[in-house]
Amino acid sequence: MARRASPEINAGSMADIAFLLLIFFLVTTTMDVDTGIIRRLPPPVEEEIDQKIKERNIMNVLVNKNDRLLVNGLPGSVESLKDVAKNFMMPHYPDNPNYPEVELKNINLLGDIYTSKGVISLKNDRGTSYDMYIRVQNELARAFNELRDELSRERFGVKFSQLTDEDRVKAINEAIPVRISEAEPESIGGQ
């Protein structure tokens, strides 16, 4: 009886198949990308300026290690932070001592307009979670974006993000600058 030889498997294309599978998984796999905070920092100060800001012009926001908010010494929530910040930064109260001082400026394309001298002071505890930090930053950014949208709609008929004329963008930015002072995190404590 003759023995039959077992057929051999052609392995010449195995490397090609493995390479194609590798490429397929690399192309189709999605990876989470950490999101950052888009914020343009002011230019460095040439000389040390001891600038005193009146207490009425500062809104203090503290976030403790338990992710709890204090807004001007009172308990607050992330959900209401945007509205509180927006109300504080709105330059509609020129003579009210409960709100920041305002300044009448003549801005190109806007004319004479009141601008707020308000500053939001943000301080986080070292134990504050990253999620809470981002949520607070987002709410503060939303407050300024909404103020800019309102002014842009009132003066130019479109949202701030839809402005294409660089001079109009500059005018809105000058009328409503983002004034957030962020202090170095430290151990604040809290419950």
List the beta bridge partners of residue 71: 61, 74
pLDDT digits (tens, 9 = 90+) for 74-122: 999 999 999 999 999 988 667 788 889 999 999 999 999 999 999 999 9
Who wins on pLDDT, 16 or 170? 170
Q: How many helices (H) and strands (E) does the chain have?
A: 4, 7
pLDDT of residue 162: 93
The residue whose two tokens read 């409960």 is 98
Specify whether the CB–CB gap between 103 and 54 falls below 8 A: no
pTM for the whole thing? 0.72
8-state DSSP, 40: P
